[in-house]
Amino acid sequence: MRIYLLGLFLLAFSQFACAAAKIENWQTPQGTRVYYVRTEGLPMVDIQVVFDACSARDGQQFGLAALTADLLDTGAGKWNADEIAQRFENVGAQFSVSSSIDMATVSLRTLTDKPLFDKALETMQVILTKPVFNEADFKREKNRTLAGLKQQEESPAELASIAFYNTLYGKHPYAHPESGVIKTVAALKSTDLRHFYQKYYVAANAIVVIVGDLSKQEAEQTAEKLVAGLPVGKKQEALPDVVMPLKSTQQHIEFPSTQTHVLVGLPGTYRKDPDYFDLYVGNHILGGSGLVSKLFKEVREKRGLAYSASSYFIPMLKPGPFMVSLQTRNDQTAQAMQVLNQTLTDFIAQGPTEAELVAAKKNITGGFAMRFDTNKELSSYVAMIGFYAMPLDYLDTFQQKIEQVTAASITDAFKRRVDPQLLQTITVGKSAEKSAK
C-alpha cells in the first residue's frame, strides 16, 4: 500500500506518466464516487467497490467487519454460495472480497466480452445489494474465522504483529486485528452482520474503481448498475485521532520458536500528511529499499544476523504504524536489537547523506513506471487515490514532490515524527536461550 512514483526520465517515460495519470472521476446519482482508467491491449477489466467498512469500524465487536465481508458471496438474491461461485467461474471471472484496517474491497476481474461480462457484473451487483446472511452460512464462516484465529497463535510473526498494533494503538480502533479475536468473534450473531451491512454498505460510503478495456460510457453504466441498488445512506464519521504513546515500552512474549521476532516502532504517518514524502524517501534509505537499505546492510550484509531486516510506514486514514522488523536466532536477539536500534537512532540523529539521498531518488524515479505496469497494480493505486480522496493529479505531482525532498527535510521530519523516546518494542521467541548465552 505504499506509494512511490516519479519520473524525470526521457520521452517514452514522460508520455507514460501522462497516460498513467489519466484518471477520470465522477459521481453516480446516489453519490458514489467513480474512478476510471482505460487500459487497452487486453480484453479484461478489474472492478473494485471499496467501502469504508473495515476493522476500524468494528466498535467493540472486533472481527465484525471482516466477517460481514466474508459472508457477502455465501448467499445473495436467490443464489446460494455454490451458485454464486459457478456463475463467476463459468465465465472465467475471478471474484474476491478483502479486508484491511481501513477498507473493505469487493473485487472482480473479468473478460470484457459482453455475455461473459454481463453475467459476472450481474452476479457482483446482487452480492453487493442483496446478500442474505443466512444462519447456516454464518455459522460455518464464523467457525472458519475462529479456526484461522487459532492458527495465528502458532506463528511468532503473527503474535508479534498483533501485540505491536495493540501496544501502539491502545483503545484506538486500529489496535485490534482485522479478523478480530476469538472472544469477540465467538460472540457475534448473524443479526450483527446484517446491521453492520445496512449501515456501512451504502452508496455514500463507497467508491467504484474501474481499470481496463471498457469505454467511458460502459464504465458509467457499470458503476451505475453496481451501486444503483444500494441505499444512499451517509458517509461515516471521521475516525478518532491516534494518541501517541507517552514513553517507550518493551513487551516480550515467550514462545517455543527457534527465532525471536523483533518489532520496533510507533504510530507514523497518514495519507494526507504534509511530512509524507520526507518520511517516505527517508524510510526508503533507512529500511524500505530491499537489498540496499541501511538496515539490510547493517543487519544482514555486514553481520549475517537475519534473513530480512526492513522498515516501513503504513499510511492510512489516521497515522498507521512505522515498523522496523527483523527475526534472528534466539541467542543473538540482544545483539541484533542493538544493531537495529543503533541504525535507527543514528538515522534519526544524522539523517541521510547526500549520496544516499541521490541514490534513493534515482531508484524511486527510475522505477516509476514499474509501480503500476499491470492492471492489477494500477487498480490498487487508483483505489488508494479514490478512497483517501487524494488529488487526481496525485501521480503527476508525485515526481516533483520526491524531488523537493532534501536531506535536511528528511532529518527534520524524522526528528519530529520518530522520537526514540517513544518507541515501542515487541519480541516474540524463546528467552531462555537468550539468557543462556
Partner 1 sequence: MNNRLLCAALLCLPAFTSSAETKVFEHKLTNGLKVLVKEDHRSPVAVSQVWYKVGSSYEPGGITGISHMLEHMMFKGTDKHSAGEFSRIIAENGGDENAFTGQDYTAYFQTMEASRLAVSFELEADRMRHLHLLPNELKKELQVVTEERRMRTDDNPQAKMAEQFNSIAYSNSPYKHPVIGWPADIANYTVDDLQAWYQRWYAPNNATLVVVGDVQTKAVFELAEKYFGALKPSDIKAIKPQTEIEQLGVRKMTVKVPAKLPSILMGYKVPVLKTAANAWEAYALEVLVGVLDGGSSARLSSELVRGKQIAVSASAGYGLTSRISNLFMLEATPAEGKKVSELESALKAQINKLQQNLISNEELQRIKAQVLASDIYQKDSNFYQAMQLGTLETVGLGWQKADEYVAKINQVTAEQVRDVARKYLLEDRLSIAYLEPQTINTRTEKKGAK
Which residue type sits at 30?
Q
Query: Any contact of residue 122 with partner 1 (CB under 8 A)?
Result: no
Q: Which of 33, 109, 176, 294 binds partner 1 (CB under 8 A)?
A: 109
C-alpha closest to that of 52 among 149, 173, 146: 173
Q: Least distance to partner 1 from the beta carbon of 95, Å?
A: 8
C-alpha closest to that of 176 among 232, 101, 115, 261: 101
Q: Which of 29, 59, 229, 367 binds partner 1 (CB under 8 A)?
A: 367
Query: Any contact of residue 368 with partner 1 (CB under 8 A)?
Result: yes
Q: Are 206 and 49 in contact (CB under 8 A)?
A: yes
Query: Any contact of residue 203 with partner 1 (CB under 8 A)?
Result: no
Query: Any contact of residue 221 with partner 1 (CB under 8 A)?
Result: no
Q: Which of 155, 184, 335, 406 binds partner 1 (CB under 8 A)?
A: 155
Stretch that binds partner 1, among 28-36, 37-45, 183-191, 264-272 (CB under 8 A): 37-45
Shorter beta-carbon distance to partner 1: residue 95 or 197: 95
Query: Any contact of residue 41 with partner 1 (CB under 8 A)?
Result: yes
Shorter beta-carbon distance to partner 1: residue 27 or 345: 345
Stretch that binds partner 1, among 5-13, 25-33, 345-353, 399-407 (CB under 8 A): 5-13
**Residue ranges in 277-336 that form contacts with partner 1 under rule CB under 8 A:** 289-292, 297, 300-308, 327-329
Query: Any contact of residue 135 with partner 1 (CB under 8 A)?
Result: no
Stretch that binds partner 1, among 39-47, 49-57, 196-204, 218-226 (CB under 8 A): 39-47
Query: Any contact of residue 363 with partner 1 (CB under 8 A)?
Result: yes
Query: Any contact of residue 353 with partner 1 (CB under 8 A)?
Result: no
Q: Which residues pair with 329 in a beta bridge?
A: 259
Q: Is the dihedral of CA 87, 209, 55, 202 positive or negative?
A: negative
Shorter beta-carbon distance to partner 1: residue 84 or 413: 84
Q: Which of 2, 27, 135, 143 binds partner 1 (CB under 8 A)?
A: 143
Q: Are 245 and 321 in contact (CB under 8 A)?
A: no
Shorter beta-carbon distance to partner 1: residue 3 or 203: 3
Give the interface size with partner 1 as a residue count (CB under 8 A).
93
**Residue ranges in 373-432 that form contacts with partner 1 under rule CB under 8 A:** 373-376
- How far apart CA 378 and CA 133 sit, in angstroms, is 32
Q: Which three cell numbers mark 333? A: 536477539
Shorter beta-carbon distance to partner 1: residue 189 or 376: 376
What are the DSSP E strand ranges found in 55-141?
75-76, 79-80, 94-99, 104-111
Which residue type sits at 156?
P
- How far apart CA 352 and CA 358 sit, in angstroms, is 10
Query: Any contact of residue 153 with partner 1 (CB under 8 A)?
Result: yes
Q: Which of 115, 241, 435, 436 binds partner 1 (CB under 8 A)?
A: 115
Shorter beta-carbon distance to partner 1: residue 33 or 267: 267
Tell me how far the alpha carbon of residue 178 is from its chain's centroid. Answer: 11
Q: Are strands 309-313 and 94-99 parallel, antiparallel or unpaired?
A: unpaired
Tell me how far the alpha carbon of residue 213 is from its chain's centroid. Answer: 26
Q: Which of 62, 165, 200, 255 binds partner 1 (CB under 8 A)?
A: 255
- How far apart CA 138 and CA 193 sit, in angstroms, is 9
Query: Any contact of residue 29 with partner 1 (CB under 8 A)?
Result: no
What are the DSSP E strand ranges found in 272-397?
309-313, 321-329
- How far apart CA 366 and CA 24 sit, in angstroms, is 26
Q: Which three cell numbers mark 330? A: 534466539
Q: Which of 25, 59, 89, 235 binds partner 1 (CB under 8 A)?
A: 89
DSSP 30: T
Residue 370, number of CB atoms within 10 A of its CB: 11
Query: Any contact of residue 338 with partner 1 (CB under 8 A)?
Result: no
Query: Any contact of residue 172 with partner 1 (CB under 8 A)?
Result: no
Query: Any contact of residue 215 with partner 1 (CB under 8 A)?
Result: no
- How far apart CA 368 and CA 364 sit, in angstroms, is 6
Q: Are 321 and 314 in contact (CB under 8 A)?
A: yes
Query: Which H/E stretch holds residue 346?
Result: helix 333-350
Q: Are 260 and 333 in contact (CB under 8 A)?
A: yes
Stretch that binds partner 1, among 21-29, 58-66, 149-157, 198-206 (CB under 8 A): 149-157
Q: Least distance to partner 1 from the beta carbon of 74, Å?
A: 8
Query: Any contact of residue 436 with partner 1 (CB under 8 A)?
Result: no
Query: Any contact of residue 200 with partner 1 (CB under 8 A)?
Result: no
